Every structure is written in C-alpha cells, then in structure tokens.
C-alpha cells in the first residue's frame, strides 16, 4: 500500500462494527511494551466487546488509510477535562503524524465541549512517549503506582487548552 495515501481521522460512529480490527491494531501497537513495562499493559485485558462498551462510555476516533485502520484513540469526558486512553498507531505507520492528528481530534473535541485540559497517563519506562507527549504540550503533573507496587509505575501528563 502506498505510504503516501491520505489518512483520514473520524469519530467512531454508532453502529461501528470493526472492533476486531481495532483490537488487533491496539495489540500490535502495544506489543513493543511487553517485557518493558511492569505491570503489563491493560491492553491485554481488552476484547472486541470491551472496546465496543468503551466506545459507549467514551468518545473514540479512528485513523483510516483507505479502509485499513491505522490508528485509534479514546477519551473519557470528565468535569473539566478529557482523559485520553488507548492511543495506538500501527507500528508500520508510526512517525507519520497519525498520533499527533488523533490527539488533535481529542483537543478539538475538548475545546468544543468547553474543557480546560486533556490528561493522560504513560508508563515510567516509556521515556519516548514522555518526550512525544511533551512535544505536544503535555507536562508531567504526578507519578502514581499501580496497586501492589511501592514504586511509581505511571506518569500523569496534562495539557492545558484555552
């Protein structure tokens, strides 16, 4: 497939039926974390049905190159911000600004809903992710530990939007 073929970003519509494709994308995108992060990613707990349920509670976006799903992101609306989770870009499509465009879709949504910020968590070990989110304007606000861990395992990052 032509790498220069346009990528479109769209909100996941009601009646969307490609949850197996989204799950496969997330598993491919998160595979590089296996053996690197502790505890393992919650992505391993996802199913097509749980993604469908997630989309009912949250706003999701997909990135499409032709009919291939090459990226996704979900955001949970809170009182003053959106919480971003499960940002994933196909490994062979990383570095093509797809993640940046998905995050821009969340930022645009947040602005349209009068929110003041976007928040996310990234694992301590994923320093490349810390730098990528910092380039998008996110700043570290705290470090937290998963249940059963005495050391910090996650970094919370926040981007204030006006």
Distance of CA 90 to the CA centre of its chain: 12
Alpha-carbon distance values, 95 to 16, 90, 98, 132, 161 (Å) = 27, 10, 8, 11, 24
Kindly state the helix (H) or strand (E) to which residue 55 belongs, with its residue range. Answer: helix 48-57
**What is the per-residue pLDDT for 3?**
55
Task: Give the pLDDT confidence of 102-116 residue by residue, as tens digits.
Answer: 999 999 999 999 999
- Tell whether the model's pLDDT for residue 34 goes beyond 80: yes
**What is the per-residue pLDDT for 4?**
57
Residue positions counted in the chain:
162
- What is the DSSP annotation of 85-106? EEEEE-GGGTTSSHHHHHHHHH
**What is the per-residue pLDDT for 105?**
98
Task: For the domain covering 7-160, report its CATH number.
Answer: 3.40.630.30
**What is the per-residue pLDDT for 22?**
98
- Tell whether the model's pLDDT for residue 2 goes beyond 50: no
Please work out, in degrees rounded to the nearest 5, the angle formed at the alpha carbon of residue 31 by the alpha carbons of 25 and 34. 155
Query: Residues 133-147: what's their mean pLDDT?
Result: 97
Query: Residues 65-80: what's their mean pLDDT?
Result: 96
**What is the per-residue pLDDT for 162?**
75
Query: Residues 5-11: what's their mean pLDDT?
Result: 93
> For residues 110 and 97, what is the distance between their CA atoms, to the nearest angstrom?
20
């Amino acid at each position: 497939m032509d790498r220069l073929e346009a990528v479109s970003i769209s909100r996941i519509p009601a009646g969307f039926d490609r949850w197996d494709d989204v799950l496969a994308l997330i598993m491919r995108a998160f595979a590089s974390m296996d053996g690197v992060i502790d505890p393992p990613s919650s992505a391993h707990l996802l199913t097509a049905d749980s993604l469908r349920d997630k989309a009912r509670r949250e706003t999701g976006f997909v990135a499409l190159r032709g009919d291939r799903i090459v990226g996704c992101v979900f955001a949970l609306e809170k009182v003053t911000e959106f919480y971003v989770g499960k940002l994933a870009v196909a490994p062979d499509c990383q570095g093509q600004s797809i993640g940046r465009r998905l995050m821009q879709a969340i930022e645009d949504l947040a602005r349209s809903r009068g929110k003041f910020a976007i928040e996310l968590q990234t694992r301590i070990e994923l320093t490349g992710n810390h730098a990528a989110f910092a380039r998008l304007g996110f700043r570290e606000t705290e470090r937290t530990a998963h249940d059963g861990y005495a050391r910090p395992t996650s970094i919370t990052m926040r981007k204030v939007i006006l």
